[in-house]
Structure 1
Amino acid sequence: MLAAVLRGGELTLQTSLRSWRALSSIAYNGSYRLLKSPPLVSLDLLEDWTRRVDQDHLENVAIPKTSNQLTAALIDGKTIAEEIRSEIADEVRRMKSSIGKTPGLAVILVGDRRDCQIYVRNKILACEEAGIRSEVEELPESCSEDEILSALKTFNENPEIHGVLVQLPLPERFDEGKILSRLQLEKDVDGFHPLNMGNLALKGREPLFIPCTPKGCIELLLRSGVEIMGKRAVVIGRSNIVGLPTSLLLQRYHATVTVLHAFTKNPETIAREADIVVAAVGMPNLVRGSWLKPGAVVIDVGTYPVEDPSSDHGYRILGDVCYEEAVKVASAVTPVPGGVGPMTVAMLLLNTLESAKRFYDFV
């Protein structure tokens, strides 16, 4: 038994050393050439409250007046994502011509939820366009946890697979935390491994991967010229997939962040104080125009299919934000679809590319 414990400890140590080596090189290894977002550690600043208080007394913040004629700028996630994906495809071609290798992504899909199937299909198509090889392991909802873990183990051990993701949410009977903890840290391109999430939260630490949707939200803000530092941000929703990592990432960019959830009292009043609103709940039209401060920037992560016989697919997608009302109050809004969704896929491809670069030590 003692020998087994020692072997387990040695494996953990080896994994940790590999992770630290990867962390130490991430700032210099490529992804930040394609994005405006710098390494998180480079954003860390010394807290200086005395200086901040003096500055606050000198600043006069102009708040735009409400106007029914105001039309918000469109934050076009589709166009921005296409630009990034084109640059990723160029990098993949450069890798293939230089070392004869290409990145590989594996997806584990459990059950037959339509939205999950659509997400996976879009990811695979995006991989094909970028020249990234992909594999999908589809398991029925009736499968056992051991079958999921077995598929994970296979992909963890495959040197041609550099990114592995388990499509979430899993059916409720499964322990998501346990399953995600078995994912090899160096292949956690979704960024949901506890160590990646922990490093995202801690000042002075750099996660190997930032979760794709929050990473995409920040990139949209940066590319739209939105200032984050010192601004009030409200994140509506606190899921492990979007709400929590988005709030952590905004804090790393020095926003003052409030998280609203189902038990929050007076959410409309709190949201109306925010310069930046990120809605990630999955409830159509939850956020009305009355929730928004005039001139706020709104990032709508929500996607909710509703039946629509007039649509080619028989349904249409709504976001968490009532778009028709938001454009009359906000200064900039992401549409649904065509906003955050394409950016999420682009960030997944980028994380997979960076994982392959680290594995092959390709600069």
Structure 2
Amino acid sequence: MSAEVIDGKAFADGLLRALEDDVRAFKKEHDLVPGLAVVVVGHDPASQIYVGSKARRTVEIGMRSYEHRLEEATSEADLLALIRRLNSAPEVHGILVQLPLPPHIDDAAVLDAIAPEKDVDGFHVINAGRLATGQSALVPCTPSGCLQLLKSIHGDLAGMRALVLGRSNIVGKPMAQLLLAESCTVTIAHSRTRDLPGECRRADILVAAVGRPRMVKGDWIKPGATVIDVGINRLPAVDGGKGKIVGDVDFEEALAVAGHITPVPGGVGPMTIACLLQNTLKAARVQIG
């Protein structure tokens, strides 16, 4: 048996095509162009590439992109002042601050300063609380993308046993909340879980988001289970070559056991930007009532 590899890039491309139609209809109905502001502080190469990709996709589907690239030495006060200006800017419907921020800036203070209705990353405590209590919210993009991939495979997830490996506020906790809302039986596990392999083997759905390269082995996986690998880990270069990107799951081992599995790269990653733009359109709709 060999698992079916889930093509996240193809799914995301289809999502963006549908979203482009939705944006076109929104603009025609309301004479308004949704706008996304992305703020990046410093010169981290990965962040710079990611921000550029977001901006390009935003424009491609007919939205406006506002990029704010700030110096590494930018003060927390200046960053908060920029966020206040974006909160009050009528042409901006979504605000995203690229993480990580430099050490002298308090991530939580910055994320909490974003107006909840413009928090397209879904990290504000109000959106987190609304999600946890089953209310409509802007949902973090990566968990949202994972859920859409799962539903494209299984349709109704009700009654399935799901294990989320990882307990971060960005992926693990919101992923568990989304699966609970789909009537899954949900377990959250982490690096200190006793008999972690045994817990994983019980799961029909395994979402790995723990940040450890190839941690989940093939014999941790229930035969036929669906494995969503959120991990993005760069292995050191060997013999002068480029470092390899791998997930939290040992892909080759899991391929022989799972029913469906996302690759890294090309699985969950492409869904994140598509879901960010979904959130931006949703935010624009909410803001015009």
Contact 1:300 1:333 survives alignment (8 Å):
yes
CA distance in 2, matches of 1:97, 1:309: 53
Matched with 1:281 is: 210
Q: Which runs of 5+ in 1 are unaligned?
A: 1-69
Q: 1:228 aligns with which of 157, 162, 172?
A: 157
**Distance of aligned partners of 1:73 and 1:226 in 2 relative to their CA distance in 1, 3 Å threshold:** farther
Contact 1:73 1:333 survives alignment (8 Å):
yes
Matched with 2:136 is: 206
**Distance of aligned partners of 1:309 and 1:159 in 2 relative to their CA distance in 1, 3 Å threshold:** farther
Contact 2:76 2:104 survives alignment (8 Å):
no
CA distance in 1, matches of 2:244, 2:60: 25
Q: Does 1:295 align with 2:210?
A: no
Name the amino acid aligned to 1:339.
Answer: G
Name the amino acid aligned to 2:266.
Answer: G
| TM-superposed deviation, 1:250 | 1.0
**What does 1:118-129 correspond to in 2, within 5 Å?**
118-129=49-60
Q: Does 1:86 align with 2:17?
A: yes
Q: 2:276 aligns with which of 348, 353, 356?
A: 348
Name the amino acid aligned to 1:170.
Answer: L
Q: Which runs of 5+ in 2 are unaligned?
A: none
Q: 1:171 aligns with which of 77, 102, 106?
A: 102
Q: 1:197 aligns with which of 128, 140, 148?
A: 128
| TM-superposed deviation, 1:129 | 1.3
The alignment's TM-score, normalised by the length of structure 1, stands at 0.75
Matched with 1:188 is: 119
Q: Does 1:322 align with 2:250?
A: yes
Q: 1:138 aligns with which of 51, 54, 69?
A: 69
Q: Does 1:332 align with 2:263?
A: no
Matched with 2:26 is: 95
Matched with 2:286 is: 358
Report percent identity of matched pairs: 46
Deviates more, 1:263-272 or 1:338-347: 263-272
| TM-superposed deviation, 1:152 | 0.6
Contact 1:228 1:253 survives alignment (8 Å):
yes
CA distance in 1, matches of 2:58, 2:243: 26
Contact 2:95 2:118 survives alignment (8 Å):
yes
Q: 1:150 aligns with which of 77, 81, 93?
A: 81
**Distance of aligned partners of 1:291 and 1:118 in 2 relative to their CA distance in 1, 3 Å threshold:** farther
Q: 1:239 aligns with which of 168, 173, 178?
A: 168
| TM-superposed deviation, 1:315 | 4.0
CA offsets 1:307-346 (integer angstroms, 9 cap, x no match): 55899x9444211111111110100001111111111111
Contact 1:192 1:211 survives alignment (8 Å):
yes
Name the amino acid aligned to 2:262.
Answer: T
The alignment's TM-score, normalised by the length of structure 2, stands at 0.93
User: What secondary structure sits across from 1:102 in the alignment?
Assistant: coil
Deviates more, 1:324-333 or 1:142-151: 142-151
| Count of aligned pairs | 289
Q: 2:146 aligns with which of 207, 214, 217?
A: 217
Contact 1:300 1:336 survives alignment (8 Å):
yes
Matched with 2:191 is: 262
Contact 1:108 1:151 survives alignment (8 Å):
no
Contact 1:137 1:151 survives alignment (8 Å):
no
**Quick check: which has more Rg, 1 or 2?**
1
Contact 1:232 1:275 survives alignment (8 Å):
yes
